[in-house]
Structure 1
């Protein structure tokens, strides 16, 4: 028990000095604990950084300088995001979406009117799409088909294997669209499954064969439209990252205009229809449709033209939708140019 007075009468200990030594020891203990905690935290951060570098991932701890940085206001975050969204690359993409598709269609329409360019374009760009159109139509009608550059071999009778494989692929596309909430996949898969059901189950053998013949020039317009539509894929898509969309839009525009221009001109100039025989492959498609399957010439022309206009309307809606999404960037790009 502490006695009154500045020192202990029994042992002579001065109380103030003892209290000072005790306070000093406590302070040293606290400082040592802090040093140990800081060293332990630094070691943990060093180990976390090492593990992150080895795993090629971002570290999970917050560096001291980042932790000390003041929190950004929510309004300022919105301004920063908008500024980042209007960088030069996005403005360039907005201009590309404005001009590339019309330019591709215009150049292709001029090329098909030039005999020399048209012949080269048909050899290297459009005939593969034409033959693929025959093959795709055959698959959707239940026939086995093998396309080549100038001829497509189609089985005489319907296959069992081809419809099952195609239905399985389209069903997988539809299911994955529903599972991943990719509504474009879901819609495309459902529409194509319906088209296969109509082509395979709704058409008899003769109607299916006639539709396969029709699918050459029709395929050029439909597949050409699909190829041009790939130019509007999102930034993370491989077609855009690998620049494949540039080749697809060229092929698509050439194929579409090769088919559409011919049948549009046939509305007033029936002699534009390529009746007769093709070297090495027999009757031409229009000749086979009229002579073998009994199609009326005026109906033949109108069906091709109606299909082409439908493709143009779909492409126009896609084009306007893309412009609507980048309209702000286009205005900013125009203002910067001015």
Structure 2
């Protein structure tokens, strides 16, 4: 503890016994506290200024060092030890399993896989025993999804399962809003990202949805729902096969999912197309009748409930199948055209 000063902290007059200074009247203790506080604040201020000056000096020194820095002229040892690139392998980009060296192989696959898948599927559906297994495990789910998608595009609510698809009696406002919203979002994203394929597909599907919802009566929409089973089987099968032609680097290509899709798509397409193509000359191939626990089969519902002619039913399914085959053929030729350089090699 510091001793009291011999003079008054305020006026400097000689200090006397007592709490107050006789010259200025200040109380010694208070004056000493205020003086000590001012001295402490002055020391703190000087310390902060010293820290700021030191920081500025360091920044100035760093700027000078950076301005004087020059790029090294030596070659690092790891770079010098790197082998010269082989001209035969230039252009190869390693991205998972995707390299330009796969070009010839990819071209040959595009040449052979789709026709082979269709031929194998044709032979499979022609075998009664194998056809039954194929329908249970591969094609029936696609058939039911075809029913559901057709119902959604006509404004009905539908829930697909393995063997039956339940559909609402009347159109669902909620479903109309959901489907329109999703397709509208696809159109908007295509416009926003300048992805014109997205925009075109979204606009076409949205037009089809509105035509099916507002351009058809309730009974016409439900008839189209029944027709959409085997029709959807062929359309969805075509879309599944088309995934084989996704660009290299696509998720389906990198993870080999396109192989499963092309097999499932070929089986689904041929399951529907082979039956209705044969029905042109053999009406007994049409599955008329009633399914236990479900009701009338799709052809029976179209003929007996909605008044379609048998020839109209056959012609409708065959037309869908032929159009799908034509689109597959165009896609196949386009794939060969893009791979023509690799095929020449």
2:91–2:100 contact (8 Å) kept in structure 1: no
| Equivalent residue for 1:167, pick from 176, 180, 196 | 180
Counterpart CA distance in 2 for 1:293 and 1:181 is 44
Unaligned runs of 5+ in 2: 1-64, 80-86
The answer to whether the aligner puts 1:230 opposite 2:243 as a matched pair is yes
Equivalent residue number for residue 198 of structure 1: 211
Number of aligned positions between the proteins = 273
Pick from 249, 261, 268: which aligns with 1:248? Answer: 261
Cα contact 2:146–2:232 (8 A) shared by 1: yes
Matched, 1:40 2:69: yes
Alignment of 1:1-338 (within 5 A): 40-41=69-70, 81=91, 87-332=100-345
**Residue ranges of structure 1 left out of the alignment (5+ in a row):** 1-35, 46-61, 67-76, 333-338
Flag the 1:63–1:304 CA change in 2: closer, same or farther, 3 A.
Answer: farther
Q: CA deviation at 1:89?
A: 1.1
What SS does the corresponding residue of 1:111 show, helix, strand or coil?
helix
1:234 is displaced (CA, Å) by: 1.0
TM-score by length of 1: 0.75
**d(CA) in 1 for partners of 2:103 and 2:333?**
17
Decide which structure has greater helix share: 1
Specify whether residues 87 and 140 from structure 1 end up closer, same or farther in structure 2 by C-alpha distance, changes over 3 A only.
closer
Assess, with a 3 A threshold, how the Cα gap between structure 1 residues 103 and 38 changes in structure 2: closer, same or farther: farther
Please say if residues 86 and 329 of structure 1, whose CA atoms lie closer than 8 Å, have aligned partners that are also in contact.
no
Counterpart CA distance in 1 for 2:149 and 2:124 is 26
**Aligned-residue RMSD, C-alpha:** 3.0
Contact 1:229 1:315 (C-alpha < 8 Å) held by counterparts:
yes
CA deviations 1:105-155 (Å, max 9, x no partner) are 010000000011100000000000000000000000000000000000000
Q: TM-score, normalised by structure 2?
A: 0.73
C-alpha change, 1:291 and 1:88, in structure 2 (3 Å) is same
Deviations 1:197-229 (A, max 9, x none): 110000000000000000000000000001111
Q: Which has the larger radius of gyration?
A: 2
Match of 1:169, SS state, is helix
- CA distance in 2 between counterparts of 1:301 and 1:317 reads 24
SS in structure 2 of the partner of residue 274 of structure 1: coil
Counterpart Cα distance in 1 of 2:157 and 2:165: 10
